[in-house]
Amino acid sequence: MDKYTYILDDNQKNERIDKVLSSLNGEWSRTQVQQWIKEGHVTVNGSAVKTNYKGSPGDEITVTIPDLVELDVLPEEMNLEIYYEDADVLVVNKPSGMVVHPAPGHTTGTLVNGLMAHCTDLSGINGVMRPGIVHRIDKDTSGLLMVAKNDMAHENLVQQLVDKTVTRKYQAIVHGVIPHDYGTIDAPIGRDKKDRQSMTVTEENSKHAVTHFRVIERFNSFTHVECQLETGRTHQIRVHMKYIGFPLAGDPKYGLRKTLDINGQALHAGLLGFVHPRTKEYMEFEAPLPKEFLEVLDYVSKSN
- Annotated catalytic sites, by residue? 138
Amino acid at 267: L
Tell me if 126 sits within 8 A of 35, measured CB to CB. no
DSSP 233: -
Question: Do 4 and 16 meet the contact criterion of CB atoms below 8 Å apart?
Answer: no
Per DSSP, the three-state class of 156 is helix
Phi first, then psi: what are they for 105, rounded to 5°? 85, -5
3-state SS, residue 43: strand
82 bridge partner residues: 92
- Residue 10 burial (10 A CB sphere; 0-12, 13-18, 19+): exposed
Burial category of 107 from C-beta neighbours within 10 Å (exposed 0-12, middle 13-18, buried 19 and up) = middle
DSSP symbols for 117-142: HH-S----TT-TTSTTBSS---TT-E
For 287-300, letters b (16+ CB in 10 Å) and e give bebeebbeebbeeb
Whole-angstrom distance, CA of residue 56 vs CA of residue 180? 56
The answer for residues whose C-beta is within 8 angstroms of residue 224's C-beta and 6 or more apart is: 171, 172, 173, 215, 216, 217, 218, 297, 300
Say which residues have a Cβ less than 8 Å from residue 279's Cβ, sequence separation at least 6: none
